[in-house]
Amino acid sequence: MKGRSSVADERTPRPTALMAMAAGLSDRFFSPALRQRLDEFVDVVPDLVVQDFSSAPARAALARAEVLITGWFCPPVTAAVLDDAPNLRAIVHAAGSVKGHLAPACWDRGIVVSTAAAANALPVAEYTLAAILGAAKGMRQIERVYRSRRAYVDLVAEYPGIGTYRRTVGIVGASRIGRRVAELLRPFDLVLSIHDPYLSAPEAEALGARLTTLDELLAGSDIVTLHAPLLPSTRHLIDAAALARMPDDATLINTARGALVDQDALVAELVTGRLNAVLDVTEPEVLPSDSPLFDLPNVVLTPHMAGAQGNELHRLAASAVEEVRRYVTGEPFAHPVVVRDLARIA
């Protein structure tokens, strides 16, 4: 996968770039310094960030755009949209998955596509690391006990099983995030197992983990963390039978997609107190206000915050700017999305 066919110089017209994402998002992603850096390589259509490709200003801009810079809530880039963009050669997504907004026609027409998913993997992995260490120490449960008791807690007597020493962490999915989690766990005295149908035993060993079946991983892990893509084959991958295989007092961490887990089955287990959970994603994404997950003492519940937030958005934009630079100077993307991978990535 290559960028522009020739190295840009003073004889090569500067490409026109168009941004398409949620209103107000471009300023949150691109700091003044990053926007200045982007302007070194492309002419960004001024005063327009597209939320609807059918509008007259969007269609006029599409007619001359060579690069499309997309972000969260970009409208679908369909074959009809591409008909209005005869000069489009590259799409640079300043976020993670592109499958929600890019039609197969983008690849069919030879447009090169890049994603900032690798940049987004780091904060998710960092959140997961914190969740793993907190779960191993029993932080959530002990904090609640101490807060309610307001008196001495005999940790040795009451919580003999807490601690990180030689605890087993099972990683489901050797995705970008799953691999980064394994890397972050290397300094700790933990035992890692991993399950991924596309991973070989030597590759797992290189990550510091032992390759196992899903059933073995669930049965043998104190903490299970999910990093698989949501595909038809992985929907409710963690069902009632899978949850039943997990040992008592084990913790399930989900920072991937809520639908990887049969939520009714999970709630049924959590209500008994047998398992613990750290859930950054649920099904539906925003739970109804009467969901028992809000009140269970063995659940840490956060509103899909593991990915890039706040100043971490600048990391995504920096990745996108670097990909634009590579395209303009004729270099291949560092983080391409190729059509053969679409069936098995998030």
Q: What is the pLDDT of residues 87-133, one digit of tens each?
A: 999 999 999 999 999 999 999 999 999 999 999 999 999 999 999 99
Q: Say whether 325 is catalytic.
A: no
Q: What is the mean pLDDT of residues 12-23?
A: 92
pLDDT 10s digits, 233-253: 999 999 999 999 999 999 999
* Pair 216, 72 in one domain: no
The predicted structure's pLDDT at residue 5: 53
Instruction: State the CATH number of the domain containing residue 61.
Output: 3.40.50.720
Strand partners, 191: 168
What is the percentage of the chain residues whose pLDDT exceeds 70?
Answer: 97
* Pair 321, 292 in one domain: no
Report if residue 102 sits inside a domain.
no
Q: Output b/e per residue, 126-161; b: 16+ Cβ within 10 A.
A: ebbbebbbbbbbbebbeeeeeeeeeeeeeeeeeeee
Q: In what order do the strands lie in the sheet with 168-172?
A: 210-211, 191-195, 168-172, 223-226, 251-254, 276-279, 299-301
H-helix or E-strand spanning residue 218: helix 214-220
Size of the chain, expressed as the number of residues it contains? 346
The predicted structure's pLDDT at residue 2: 62
**For residue 4, what pLDDT band results from cuts at 50, 70 and 90?**
low
pLDDT 10s digits, 176-235: 999 999 999 999 999 999 999 999 999 999 999 999 999 999 999 999 999 999 999 999
Q: Say whether 304 is catalytic.
A: yes
Catalytic residue among 101, 257, 315, 335: 257
Give the CA distances from residue 301 to residues 35, 138, 177, 270, 345, in Å, rounded to whole numbers and listed in that order.
Answer: 35, 15, 20, 13, 26
Report if residue 125 sits inside a domain.
yes
* Pair 72, 130 in one domain: no
- Going by C-alpha positions, the residue among 149, 67, 134 that lies closest to residue 106 is 67
* Pair 245, 145 in one domain: yes
Catalytic residue among 143, 158, 183, 285: 285
* Pair 181, 267 in one domain: yes
Half-sphere exposure of 222 (CA within 13 A, CB side): 20
* Pair 172, 87 in one domain: no
Q: Is the pLDDT of residue 340 over 90?
A: no
What is the percentage of the chain residues whose pLDDT exceeds 90?
Answer: 94
* Pair 50, 187 in one domain: no
Instruction: Give me the helix-helix angle, 139-149 and 117-136, nearest 10°.
Output: 50
* Pair 145, 174 in one domain: yes
* Pair 236, 283 in one domain: yes
Catalytic residue among 37, 236, 245, 304: 304
The predicted structure's pLDDT at residue 11: 38
This prediction's pTM:
0.92
pLDDT 10s digits, 35-62: 999 999 999 999 999 999 999 999 999 9
* Total of domains in the chain: 2
Report if residue 10 sits inside a domain.
no
The predicted structure's pLDDT at residue 8: 41
Q: Say whether 150 is catalytic.
A: no
Q: Is the pLDDT of residue 304 over 70?
A: yes
CA distance 153 to 159: 9
* Pair 319, 280 in one domain: no
* Pair 208, 258 in one domain: yes
pLDDT 10s digits, 242-287: 999 999 999 999 999 999 999 999 999 999 999 999 999 999 999 9
Report if residue 134 sits inside a domain.
yes
Q: Residue 320 is part of which domain span? A: 16-95+310-344
Report if residue 106 sits inside a domain.
no
The predicted structure's pLDDT at residue 346: 76
Q: Is the pLDDT of residue 326 over 70?
A: yes
